[in-house]
Chains A and B, each alone.
Chain A
Amino acid sequence: MTFGCSIAFLLSAALTVAGALAAALLKNLVHCALSLTVTFAGLALLYLQLDAQFAGFAQILVYIGAVAILVVFAILLTRGAGIPEYRGFSSSWLLGLIIAAAIFALFGWAVTKSLPAQITASAAPAITVQSIGAALMSSYVLPLEIVAVLLTVALIGAVIVAMPESRITKSETRTGGGQ
């Protein structure tokens, strides 16, 4: 009945997909953002079941702790004067739905047809955080430094993009405590 999957996997997968569906269908934006958080949590549980502890905790820390809060802040900062006058779904929603369903059918066909459904034959890899740190400093040091520069650039860029344009002259500008 469980198709050879463990109960923990079924529960996490159900949580993930339910969160994603709720994010797609709910009208209230903040509810969408909160169900996105549920999806992130479900995905972190899936990572933990795949013995990727570092990735799972990093997922919780970065996505739930930062990206979800970023999304809700953006929703609150871009609220109109109350009720939105437009319907939540675009006029060409059927086409979008058909395209998404077609993509899913394609992926599902590819997975079931061309992949022998492997069971976990290999033992759990003994990945310690120390080995990750060593790998980051030896084999992956170039991507690490590039990601550091990328994050700095994104930080500065996001602040500049979202900063309000100053329409007041220099002499009237307040120092510090701006926006």
Chain B
Amino acid sequence: MSQQASFWNNLDQVFVLLQHRIAGYFPVWLQPVVETILAVVGIVAAFPGIFALTTVLERKGLGRMQNRLGPNRVGPLGILQPVADGIKSLTKEDIVPLSADAAVHFLAPVVLVIAVFMGFAVLPIGRNMVLANLDAGLLFFFAIGASTELSIFMAGWSSRNKYSLLGAMRAVAQMISYEVPLLLSSVVAVMITGSLSTVKIVEAQSGFTGIFPHWYVFTPWGFAGFVLFVIAALAETNRSPFDLPEGESELVAGYFTEYSGFKFALFFLGEYLGMFSIAGFAITLFLGGWGAPLSVLEFVPSWAWFFLKLLAAIAFFIWLRGTLPRLRQDQLMNFAWKFMLPMTLLNLVVAGAWRFLGDGWPRWVICSVVLLAAYVLLGRVLMRNQNLGARSYRYAD
């Protein structure tokens, strides 16, 4: 039994052991540097790999949801499509408009990709598998996320193109508006854990009562916080239904209209990696990070759970993209400031009440009732001017 347990333990820590093994070949004073480099190599290899997988998943998934096949020419069932995309973007001619600001035009995708990769440093991918165990890890993540807005502005402005500038302005306004609910909805997890460190937040969710885990999403304030965080995360990464800045039917391609070839691929990569990092962060804050969903399943390696949850989140985002219509700019802003901000503030109060009401069933009832009542009331108040009739369907005969 212990031999079995140690096998699963080794499998759980296989990357950490590999890292120590390789670093052991170097002199002692060089070992921390080598370990960090190996961790960085791991991140740079794993997440762009997931990016390649996501592009084909998204196109096939969206195709199926829109009642068509996705790409199916390259490789069996179109699985090798990312290879074809990569070759195309690397060999396409890099066109820079004559009147574009060359230096800023070149730097914008670089800044985006650098900022997005740095965000992965504080994600705990498994037990003992975090690149930088910062005491203020959450603050670092949000600070780096705020820097990506600047690169979008740089891209839009340097192209000297009205469509690009408009798309960039919309994108920056949207990202700034949703930054506030994003931060506030993550503060509840910090409040209950008592630390800004992502490692401690995951460890606080790794207990089990019976077979059910202590994930924050299974509490009233955690569920509300998770929903609000996911909505704000969708808006932060310009994903549908908040993709007005890059709406293909509206703005050509928004702020990366004038980019072609490798720089376009970098923007694409940066956007998807941003989506992964913020999805990973939502998993860390509310879905228990690398923890197993049932205590009987704890033998599965922790990094496997993290990647499974990440894939589920990505599938959910693709599903949302295929299903929901796009929000207009003023609807978007109204939603952020009039609905999400009051809800996140109320969530903070509810989380505080949860903490101070002590253990037992009353706090579940009180917190759930308060949140539900607020949600319903706020919805009714904000929608009172819209005379929505019954939904009507029209089908082609």
Give residues of chain A (29-44) contacting chain B, Cβ–Cβ below 8 Å: 30-31, 34, 37
Please provide the chain B residues from 169 to 221 with a CB less than 8 Å away from any CB of chain A in the complex: 169, 172, 176, 179, 194-196
The answer to whether A31 touches B104 (Cβ under 8 A) is yes
Contact of A65 (CB < 8 Å), options: B101, B143, B157, B334 = B143
Question: By the criterion CB–CB under 8 Å, are A76 and B147 in contact?
Answer: no
Q: A57-B140, A60-B147 are in contact. Are A30 and B135 (CB under 8 A)?
A: no
A128 at the interface (CB under 8 A from B): yes
- Min C-beta distance of A133 to chain B, whole Å: 9
List A residues 86-139 near B (Cβ within 8 Å).
Answer: 128-130
| A69-B172, A129-B136 given; A176·B146 CB < 8 A | no
Instruction: Point out the residues of chain B lying under 8 angstroms from A30, CB to CB.
Output: 101, 104, 157
Q: Given the known A-B contacts A76-B157, A129-B135, are A66 and B194 also in contact in the complex, defined by CB atoms under 8 Å?
A: no
Q: Are B136 and A54 in contact (CB under 8 A)?
A: yes
| CB contact between B196 and one of A34, A72, A73, A129 (< 8 Å): that residue | A129
> Which residue of chain A has the shortest Cβ distance to B158 in the bound complex?
A30
CA distance A30 to B154 in the complex (A): 9
- B266 touches A (CB below 8 Å): no
Picked from A34, A68, A130, the residue with its CB within 8 Å of the CB of B195 is A130
Cβ of A153 < 8 Å from any Cβ of B? Answer: no
Residues in A whose Cβ lies below 8 Å from that of B330: 176-177
Interface size class of chain B, counting residues whose CB lies under 8 Å from the partner chain: 20 to 34
How far apart sit A76 and B166, CA to CA, in the bound complex (Å)? 11
Q: Do residues A176 and B150 form an inter-chain contact, with CB atoms below 8 A?
A: no
CA distance A145 to B176 in the complex (A): 24
- How far, in whole Å, are A64 and B118 apart by their CA atoms in the complex? 15
Cβ-based interface call for B242 (8 A): no
Verify B194–A53 contact, CB threshold 8 A: no
B149 at the interface (CB under 8 A from A): yes
CA distance A57 to B157 in the complex (A): 27
B 124-165 contacts with A by CB, 8 A: 134-136, 139-140, 142-147, 149-150, 153-154, 157, 165
The 8 Å CB contact of A61, one of B134, B143, B153, B172, is B143
- On chain B, the residues within 8 Å of A25 by CB distance are none
In terms of DSSP, what is the predominant structure of the interface of chain B?
helix
Q: Known contacts A129-B196, A130-B195: does B149 contact A61 (CB below 8 Å)?
A: no
Interface residues of A in 165-179 (CB under 8 A from B): 176-177
B195 to chain A: closest CB distance in Å? 7
Contacts of A53 in B (CB 8 A): 134-136
User: Is A58 located at the chain interface by the 8 A CB criterion?
Assistant: yes
Annotate A6-28 by CB proximity to B: 1 below 8 A, 0 otherwise.
Answer: 00000000000000000000001
Measured CA separation A88–B393 after assembly (Å): 61
**B144/A60 in contact, CB under 8 A:** yes
Given the complex of chains A and B, what is the CA–CA distance between A125 and B144 in angstroms?
Answer: 25
Residue with the highest number of chain B CB atoms closer than 10 Å, among A69, A76, A177: A69
Residues of the A chain whose Cβ atoms lie less than 8 Å from the Cβ of B149: 65, 69
Whether the pair A65, B147 counts as a contact (CB closer than 8 A) is: yes
Min CB gap A157→B, angstroms:
18
Q: How far is the CB of B71 from chain A (nearest CB, A)?
A: 37
Interface string of A139-168 (1 = CB under 8 A from B): 000000000000000000000000000000
A135→B93 CA distance, assembly (Å): 57
Roughly how many angstroms separate A173 CA and B165 CA in the complex, as a whole number? 28
Given A76-B157, A176-B330, A176-B334, check contact A34 B143 (CB 8 Å). no
Smallest distance from the beta carbon of B3 to chain A beta carbons, Å?
Answer: 40
Closest to B103 in A: A31
Knowing A53-B134, A57-B136, A129-B135, the reply to whether A66 touches B146 (Cβ < 8 A) is yes
Question: Can you report 14 residue pairs joining A to B where beta carbons are below 8 Å apart?
Answer: A28-B101, A30-B157, A57-B136, A60-B144, A60-B147, A64-B147, A65-B143, A65-B147, A65-B149, A68-B150, A69-B172, A72-B153, A76-B157, A129-B139
Q: Which 7 A-B pairs have the closest CB atoms?
A: A65-B146, A60-B143, A61-B143, A57-B139, A57-B143, A177-B330, A129-B196
Please list the residues of chain A having a beta carbon within 8 angstroms of any beta carbon in chain B: 28, 30-31, 34, 37, 53-54, 57-58, 60-61, 64-66, 68-69, 72-73, 76, 128-130, 176-177
